Amino acid sequence: MEPTMMIQQRSASAHIAECSNASCGDEGVAVVVVKTFELQSKSKGDLTKQLEELKTELLNLRVQKVAGGSSSKILRINSLRKDIARVLTVMNQKQRANLREFYKGKKYIPLDLRAKKTRAIRRKLNQHERTRITERQHKREVHFANRKFVLKA
């Protein structure tokens, strides 16, 4: 590799590091990091719109990569993929929270919303089931209770 190529590559990575949050005028590359706490305040429509924008940007960068675009744009692909994952994660969290709210207090809850725990704990009897007795046992306790005797010392 020629020394001039190495200098260009190093300057491209330094360029991306310098403009991590702000948009850079050089080559029209805008590096905007998607923050999760900002995404959580957005509505579902806004999230879908942002997801579509990120996906189209990723598609354009992949085309430029094949066409031999600048290295700074190619390095943006990885961060774009992570941004898309963040948006999808927030969308999924919101959907599950809404479902949990919908099924709150109902008798049956979908399996994926139930508490995982362990198989043994899930099958363990609850307090009410543990204290129940049969009708026959109840009659025995009522009619033949333990008798207490006083012993003379």
Q: Is residue 81 in a domain? A: yes
Q: Is residue 62 in a domain? A: yes
- Counted domains in the chain: 1
- What CATH number does residue 97 fall under? 1.10.287.310
Q: Is residue 135 in a domain? A: no
For residue 93, what are the domain limits? Answer: 31-108
Which two structure tokens, joined as six digits, stand for 59?
Answer: 């598609």
pLDDT digits (tens, 9 = 90+) for 56-109: 999 999 998 888 877 888 888 999 999 999 999 999 999 999 999 999 999 999
pLDDT digits (tens, 9 = 90+) for 38-65: 999 999 999 999 999 999 999 999 998 8
Predicted structure pTM score: 0.60
- To the nearest 10°, report the CA torsion of 104, 105, 108, 113: 20
Which two structure tokens, joined as six digits, stand for 144?
Answer: 């033949």
